[in-house]
Amino acid sequence: MINLKEFLDEKYNQYNTPDFIKTDPIQIPHRFSKKEDIEISAFLTATIAWGKRNMIIKNASKIMDLLDNEPYSFILNASEKEIGLLSGFVHRTFNIIDLQFFLKSLRNIYSNHNGLETVFLKYNTDVYATLINFRKIFFEIPYPDRTSRQVSNVAKNSAAKRLNMFLMWMVRKDNRKVHFGIWDKIKPSALFLPLDVHTGNVGRKLGLLTRKQNDWKAVAEITESLRKFDPDDPVKYDFALFGLGIFEKF
């Protein structure tokens, strides 16, 4: 009988290599070296991370081009008029109206809340509370009604895949050079799996998840299952579950 932990560890080691970057949207923030540029590009890339990965990469690159490939400088220095003149962007249901607001909200966060890391640090041992707090601050300035749907609400049982993925990118650090690990005050043990169709389906096949819906309750269940294998870094197994689903059609 297969040892599930050994199997997942093997797949984690197989996929958690720099080669993973070449085919994944995480390649976008890897273009930058400045902390704020990494954070902002990662957040915006994670925001549109649903659908085909080649389209996510293509459209995240378009966003970086719109921001002159200096996201932090653009957000701090662009005038309302310059932001308002941005055009020609759409990724599935996320369009230029959403992007314009995201840029304004990020400017508010960096100008008045000391940046994304500070906002996410408020409840650093309670990611659920952190995600609720982040959404509250993100929408504390006037926003288009349509844009409220672009940031997951865990208080309404959303799986928050993209926010959890962004946190995973920022927090995890294991010297494999895929994730960034530039936020060292949040412990990897506190993270939750970025649950999507692929990781959910593989998790169910492996007996890690019984809940049928991909919602926050399912996120909590599968993450708790993974904590039994590595309580200090449970979401490292995202590499295994995602790799099995995407690359091996498990």
Dump the DSSP string for 142-184. ---GGGGGGS--GGGT---HHHHHHHHHHH---SSSSS-----
As a whole number of angstroms, the distance between CA 54 and CA 184 comes to 30
Quote the pLDDT of residue 249.
85
- CB within 8 Å of 34: residues ≥ 6 apart: 72
Quote the pLDDT of residue 160.
97
Quote the pLDDT of residue 2.
63
Buried residues in 9-29 as b, exposed as e (16+ CB within 10 A): bebbeebbeeebeeebbbebb
Domain count, the chain: 1
40's tokens: 């902002």
Per-residue pLDDT at 38 exceeds 60: yes
Q: How many CB atoms lie within 10 A of CB 231?
A: 10
Per-residue pLDDT at 23 exceeds 70: yes
- Answer positive or negative: Cα dihedral of 218, 219, 223, 224: negative
Note if the pTM is more than 0.85. yes
For the chain, the average pLDDT equals: 96
Residue 1 pLDDT grade (very low, low, confident, very high; cuts 50, 70, 90): very low
Residue 123 pLDDT grade (very low, low, confident, very high; cuts 50, 70, 90): confident
* pLDDT tens column, 162-204: 999 999 999 999 989 999 999 999 999 999 999 999 999 999 9
Domain extent for 224: 4-246
* pLDDT tens column, 142-164: 999 999 999 999 999 999 999 99
